[in-house]
């Protein structure tokens, strides 16, 4: 028990260290001690501005983004009884991308792009959900999973059609959005992202015991007195909503929702509550670390965050696959 | 305790009822066995009891109260069901798995109390899975897994237990252990409803058999009344004789070698028009 707890404390310390490093490293290097005092508002005013105005919102968004995607993925894997389930598989990313691409192509102001993405994500999830529930096997999570995959495939086709004849500037803008980034983070964005991640995450944690039951299948859930259809529906919708909020804030940051719950399980989490909370912590660390690499690997250029998380996530996931029985 | 009264179930687009006008009752302190060929409607009735399948006619009652009027958690606190299939998506320690049986009592919020711990401890002791508690469910053998599932149902702590083919993966010793455990629960006053293909074992252990054929009750009563060669031969569509178990004197079925006699005189209702 204490050893298990030690692992989670270590993960929290790694997250804190990555956050401090991420705030300190960049075109102007700031020592960790100076970062900490600047966070408290003390020290050189220029440093305080860099830390609190320029870099902290970005790190805060990376933390919220990673935590949200991690919790969403952990909940969906449980409720879908599928270790490959993740929010992006279920149409969230495709729908959000269609919304964002349309906004970029019609020349909407940048502030509207996240809203369009959010609407696109919610619409895609709603379509997948209603299509799945219109079939005879309505509540079956496998049908839901398939519906989500198909909606996602349709969204990809729509994006290609939209971008095929777009002008290069708009195309580049749309492409950058799809590759994910926390570079443009503001406190206003962080405010509403925090609302979705914290409130949605709290609900998912509260429903964790139901998710434990749902992993046994619908019949077993019914034998334990749980209405499997209703319980899995609300977890599915809440997890999708949290993922939609992250996508609206930062574009598509892939593989976090898929990989992070597996890391949490390897670190000893087995009950859903532990997997969800652990995924929040590890997801945050993964995205903060990936953003640090994205910013500092090839200065002054920035790598797309979504590509970095995928480059880190894919090899890890392949190693995981080998261990699956 | 659990009463099926004229229960009929028809799946969407099916040409006939999966269960038709089925009536029988389970009692406390009795083991009732639901037997019959594959597809005769046994699991359909279990699903109906779980509220997973709507009835097209009839009703199921629990101590006289219609199932439909009871909340699921209320039912789960009184009746534990070990379903035929269960999925294991993620590795879980056996101890956590058995504790899931307390969900109907604890709900989503309450943490485990003394009563929960006592129920889990008793379930572990009765099912003999103490040595497995630290293991992960995905490392268990088929037999160990079935015992862990029975333990989870025991932890539910109800007055009735329903088991859908619980001994499918068990060897002789573990199967006998499971039956002995069930008959001990019956002696302690529990109502046990068992779905099984092990006719010879249920003939020894069960107080009452309900034989289903094409969704209908073909025979029901004490084992001696149901275990009759002509009836079983017609229902199962295979030549057989019913004899007496030389050791314990219970009726015992012996299937004969040879071609299946699926002709009209033996098994008229198996014909598809």
pLDDT (average), residues B122-146: 90
- The confidence score (pLDDT) of residue B270 equals 41
Distance CA A187, CA B241 (A): 81
Residues 6+ apart with CB under 8 A from B128: B147, B177
When pLDDT is averaged across residues A172-194 and rounded to a whole number, the result is 86
- What percent of chain A is predicted at pLDDT more than 90? 33
Closest partner CB to B108 (pick from A209, A227, A271) = A209
pLDDT tens-digit profile of B210-243?
999 999 999 999 999 999 999 999 999 999 999 9
- B121 CA: distance to closest CA in chain A (Å): 18
DSSP structure class, residue B60: E
Tokens of B121: 């401890």
pLDDT (0 to 100) of residue B262: 55
Q: Summarize the confidence of residues A255-269 as an average pLDDT.
A: 90
Q: How far is B63 from chain A (nearest CA, A)?
A: 18
A210 contact residues in B (CB cutoff 8 A)? 108
B232-239 long-range contacts (CB < 8 A, ≥24 apart) are B232/B199, B233/B261, B233/B266, B234/B266, B234/B267, B235/B36, B235/B37, B235/B40, B235/B211, B235/B267, B236/B37, B237/B37, B237/B261, B237/B262, B237/B266, B237/B267, B237/B270
Average pLDDT score over residue span A263-276: 90
Q: By three-state DSSP, how is residue A83 classified?
A: coil
Q: What angle do CA A42, A48, A52 make, to 5 degrees?
A: 115
Residues of A in contact with B73 (CB under 8 A): 225-226
**Is 50 exceeded by the pLDDT of residue B267?**
no
> Edge-to-edge, what's the strand order for the sheet holding B208-213?
B79-82, B160-164, B191-195, B31-35, B208-213, B216-221
Q: Are B67 and B54 in contact (CB under 8 A)?
A: no
Look at residue B272 and tell me whether its pLDDT is greater than 50: no
Residue A245 tokens, joined:
């909020």
Which segment, A224-238, A307-321, B119-133, is predicted with the most confidence on average?
A: B119-133
Residue of A223, A261, A267 for testing the chain B interface, max B β-carbons within 10 Å: A223
Interface of B with A (CB under 8 A): 12, 47, 50-52, 71-77, 80-93, 96, 100-101, 103-104, 106-109, 136, 138, 153, 156
Residue of B nearest to A85 (CA): B89
Least confident of A284-293, B138-147, B205-214: B138-147
Distance, CA of A244 to CA of A290 (rounded, Å): 20
The pLDDT assigned to B90 comes to: 84
Q: How many Cα atoms occupy the beta-carbon half-sphere of B165 within 13 Å?
A: 13
> Which pLDDT score, from 0 to 100, does residue A270 have?
87
- Greater confidence (A90 vs A24) lies with A24
- Please classify residue A321 by burial: count the beta carbons closer than 10 Å to its beta carbon, then call 0-12 exposed, 13-18 middle and 19+ buried: exposed
Does the distance separating the beta carbons of A83 and B87 come in below 8 Å? no
Least confident among A1-5, A121-125, B126-130: A1-5
Residue A108 contacts residue A130 (beta carbons within 8 Å)? no
CA distance B219 to B26: 15
Whether residue B87 and residue A215 make contact (CB cut-off 8 A), yes or no, is yes
Q: Are A236 and A132 in contact (CB under 8 A)?
A: no
Helix (H, G, I), strand (E, B) or coil at B219: strand
- The verdict on A278 touching B (C-beta cutoff 8 Å) is no
> With 70 as the cut, is the pLDDT of residue B168 above it?
yes
The average pLDDT across B44-73 equals: 93
Residue A276 or A53, more confident: A276
Alpha-carbon dihedral angle through residues A163, A168, A170, A171, given to the nearest 10 degrees: 40
| Burial tier of A99 (Cβ tally within 10 Å: 0-12, 13-18, 19+) | buried
State the pLDDT at residue A75.
95
Query: At A96, is the secondary structure helix, strand, or coil?
Result: helix
Kindly report, residue by residue over B11-41, the tens digit of the pLDDT: 888 889 999 999 999 999 999 999 999 999 9
B163 forms beta bridges with: B82, B194
Q: How many contiguous H segments (helices) and E segments (strands) does chain B have? A: 10, 12
Chain B: closest CA distance from residue A252 (Å): 27
Say if residue B263's pLDDT is above 70: no
ipTM at complex level: 0.86
Q: How confident is the model at residue A137 (pLDDT cuts 50, 70, 90)?
A: low
| Token pair for B176 | 């006998």
What is chain B's mean pLDDT, rounded? 89
Quote the pLDDT of residue B269: 44
User: Does B259 or B11 have the greater pLDDT score?
Assistant: B11
| Whether residue B265 has pLDDT greater than 50 | no
Contacts with B226 (C-beta within 8 Å, 6 or more apart), sequence order:
B35, B209, B210, B211, B219, B220
Averaged over B85-103, what is the pLDDT?
Answer: 88
Cα–Cα distance measured from residue A19 to residue A139, given in angstroms and rounded to the nearest whole number: 41
- What is the per-residue pLDDT for A1? 47
Q: Which of B100, B112, B160, B163 has the most A C-beta neighbours within 10 Å, making it the best mutation to test the interface with A?
A: B100
Task: Report, as an integer, the average pLDDT of B136-158.
Answer: 90
Q: Which of A167-181, A269-283, A290-304 reaches the highest mean pLDDT?
A: A269-283
Nearest Cβ partner of A215 from B89, B109, B136?
B89
Give me the residue from A136, A209, A265 closest to B12, CB to CB. A136
Mean pLDDT over A213-223 rounds to 90
Chains A and B: how many Cβ contacts under 8 Å? 88
The interface residues of chain A toward chain B in range 245-274, judged by CB-CB distance below 8 A, are 265, 270-271
- Residue B182 pLDDT grade (very low, low, confident, very high; cuts 50, 70, 90): very high
Question: Does A249 score more than 90 pLDDT?
Answer: no
User: What whole-number distance in Å separates Cα of residue A204 and Cα of residue A210?
Assistant: 10
Q: Are strands B216-221 and B208-213 parallel, antiparallel or unpaired?
A: antiparallel
Give yes or no for residue B266 having a pLDDT over 70: no
pLDDT at residue A141 tops 80: no
In DSSP notation, A107-149 reads: T--GGGHHHHHHHHHHHHHHHHHHHHHHSTTTT-HHHHHHHHH
Q: Which is more confidently placed, A118 or B212?
A: B212
């Amino acid at each position: 028990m204490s050893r298990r707890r030690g692992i989670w404390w270590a993960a929290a310390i790694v997250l804190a260290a990555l956050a401090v490093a991420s705030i300190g490293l960049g075109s102007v290097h700031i020592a960790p001690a100076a970062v900490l005092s600047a966070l408290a508002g003390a020290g050189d005013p220029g440093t305080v501005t860099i830390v609190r105005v320029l870099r902290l919102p970005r790190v805060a968004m990376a933390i919220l983004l990673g935590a949200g995607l991690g919790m969403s993925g952990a909940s969906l894997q449980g409720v879908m009884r599928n270790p490959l389930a993740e929010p992006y598989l279920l149409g969230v990313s495709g729908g959000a991308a269609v919304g964002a691409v349309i906004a970029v192509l019609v020349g909407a102001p940048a502030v509207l792009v996240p809203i369009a993405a959010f609407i696109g994500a919610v619409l895609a999830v709603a379509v997948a959900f209603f299509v799945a529930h219109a079939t005879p096997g309505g509540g079956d999570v496998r049908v839901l999973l398939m519906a989500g995959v198909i909606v996602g495939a349709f969204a990809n086709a729509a994006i290609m059609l939209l971008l095929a004849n777009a002008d290069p500037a708009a195309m580049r803008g749309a492409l950058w959005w799809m590759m994910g980034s926390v570079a443009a983070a503001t406190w206003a964005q962080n405010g509403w992202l925090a609302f979705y991640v914290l409130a949605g995450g709290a609900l998912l944690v509260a429903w964790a015991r139901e998710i434990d039951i749902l992993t046994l299948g619908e019949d077993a859930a019914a034998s334990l007195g749980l209405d499997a259809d209703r319980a899995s529906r609300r977890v599915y919708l809440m997890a999708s909503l949290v993922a939609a909020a992250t996508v609206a804030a930062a574009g598509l940051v892939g593989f976090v929702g898929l990989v992070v719950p597996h890391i949490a399980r390897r670190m000893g989490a087995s009950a859903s509550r532990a997997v969800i909370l652990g995924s929040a912590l590890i997801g945050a660390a993964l995205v903060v670390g990936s953003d640090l690499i994205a910013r500092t690997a090839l200065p002054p250029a920035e790598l797309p965050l979504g590509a970095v998380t995928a480059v880190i996530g894919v090899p890890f996931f392949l190693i995981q696959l080998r261990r699956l029985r | 305790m659990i009463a099926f009264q004229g229960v009929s179930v028809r799946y969407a687009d099916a040409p006939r009822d999966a269960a038709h006008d089925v009536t029988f009752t389970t009692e406390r302190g009795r083991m009732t066995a639901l037997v019959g060929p594959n597809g005769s409607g046994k699991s359909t009735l279990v699903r109906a009891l779980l509220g997973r399948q709507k009835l097209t006619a009839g009703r199921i009652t629990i101590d006289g109260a219609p199932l439909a009027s009871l909340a699921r958690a209320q039912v789960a606190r009184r009746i534990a069901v070990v379903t035929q299939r269960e999925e294991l998506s993620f590795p879980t320690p056996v101890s956590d798995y058995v504790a899931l049986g307390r969900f109907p009592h604890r709900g989503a919020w309450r943490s485990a109390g003394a009563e929960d711990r006592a129920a889990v401890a008793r379930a572990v002791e009765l099912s003999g899975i103490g040595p497995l508690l630290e293991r992960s469910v995905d490392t268990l053998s088929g037999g160990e897994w079935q015992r862990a599932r029975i333990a989870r149902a025991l932890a539910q702590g109800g007055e009735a237990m329903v088991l859908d083919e619980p001994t499918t993966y068990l060897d002789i010793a573990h199967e006998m252990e499971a039956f002995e455990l069930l008959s001990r629960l019956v002696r302690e006053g529990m109502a046990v409803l068992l779905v099984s293909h092990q006719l010879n074992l249920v003939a020894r252990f069960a107080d009452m058999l309900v034989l289903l054929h094409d969704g209908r009750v073909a025979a029901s009563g004490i084992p001696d009344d149901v275990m009759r060669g002509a009836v079983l031969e017609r229902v199962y569509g295979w030549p057989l004789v019913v004899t007496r178990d030389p050791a314990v004197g219970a009726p015992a079925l012996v299937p004969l070698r040879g071609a299946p006699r699926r002709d009209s005189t033996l098994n008229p209702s198996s014909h598809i028009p």
